[in-house]
Amino acid sequence: MLAKPLVAAAVGLLALSAPARAQQAAATEDPVVAIVDGVAIHRSQIEETARGLPQQYRQMPMQVLFGMLLDRVIDFQLLANEAERQKLGSDPAVQVALAEARTNVLRDALIRRKIEEGTTDAKLHERYDQLKQSANFAQPEVHARHILLKSEDEAKAVIKELQGGADFATLAKERSTGPSAANGGDLGYFRRDQMVPAFAKAAFALQPGQFTTEPVQTQFGWHVIMVVDRRTVEPTFKESQPQLRQDLAREIVTALVAGLHDGAKIERFNLDGTPMQEQPAAQEKPAAQAKPKAN
């Protein structure tokens, strides 16, 4: 079914994205940065164009990109103005494309508005307070150190030294190839979902003071892990806010689409245009016809 991908796409595109250009243009701080044959170009159009650049360019300061982006937007406007002068809007194919574009803009505007209405700070706090009442709201965390090595044999040798009484932090500084080596392999506190599965499984199986007696392999190499402490922590509202917003947005879009289906008259057709046969609902067997269970 396409309903779930539709909801996911809508949430990903709209719930967490920057405001639309139309909303930005209405803002008080959206100055005109060029005028092309009487048509004003706003800064928001430059910023929107920047979001379409490859990732390596999006990381550059706007001051560096501004001149190039302004030239591009001016070129786009010149092309649009010329298309208007040539009355291309009357071309049937262009009219179809414009109608599709209008449909897409209206759809996105509706979804965006519903998501904005349903993900206010008050509603996010309300959902957060509800989740705090659930039994699994508080998340277990471990404070661990690790020693990252290139081979299994090296990891086994470190384990043997630890079993002989060597200090974990000292060995981490001397042997670990990971970035935490300078800190004695200290990774601080982390939740299970913040580490790769194999590492998390091994770490959360240990009690404070214990270390792995077998090397743990991940895509980074071979690990020897020691747990320093364990605790249970409630995520703060700030930490939870992105997931809360995404969950609420998904629910909003799902409910919106379901409600529209309920009130709509929808006719379906096959690829050849013939009416699609509706599948009859499965009927339950009468209780009298049900087979008796074996004793």
- pLDDT (tens, 9 = 90+) of the chain, 295 residues, equals 445 555 665 555 544 443 444 454 454 589 999 999 999 999 999 999 999 999 888 889 999 999 999 999 999 999 999 999 999 999 999 999 999 999 999 999 999 999 999 999 999 999 999 999 998 899 999 999 999 999 999 999 999 999 999 999 999 999 999 999 999 999 999 999 999 999 999 999 999 999 999 999 999 999 999 999 999 999 999 999 999 999 999 999 999 999 999 989 999 999 999 999 876 655 544 444 444 444 3
Q: pLDDT value at position 59?
A: 84
What is the spatial distance between Cα 213 and Cα 200, in angstroms, rounded to a whole number? 15
Task: Give the separation between CA 52 and CA 43, rounded to whole angstroms.
Answer: 15
State residue 284's pLDDT score: 47
Fold designation for 140-232: Chitinase A; domain 3 (3.10.50)
What are the residues whose beta carbons fall under 8 Å from the beta carbon of 254, sequence distance 6 or more? 3, 7
What per-residue confidence (pLDDT) applies to 178?
94
- Tens digit of each residue's pLDDT (9 = 90 or more) over 87-115: 999 999 999 999 999 999 999 999 999 99
Q: Which residues contact 139 (CB under 8 A, 6 or more apart)?
A: 191, 192, 232, 233, 234, 235
Residue spans of the domains in the chain: they are 3-127, 140-232
> In the prediction, which pLDDT does 58 show?
86
User: What is the pLDDT at residue 5?
Assistant: 57
Please report the pLDDT score of residue 28 as a whole number.
Answer: 58
Q: What percent of the chain has pLDDT over 70?
A: 85
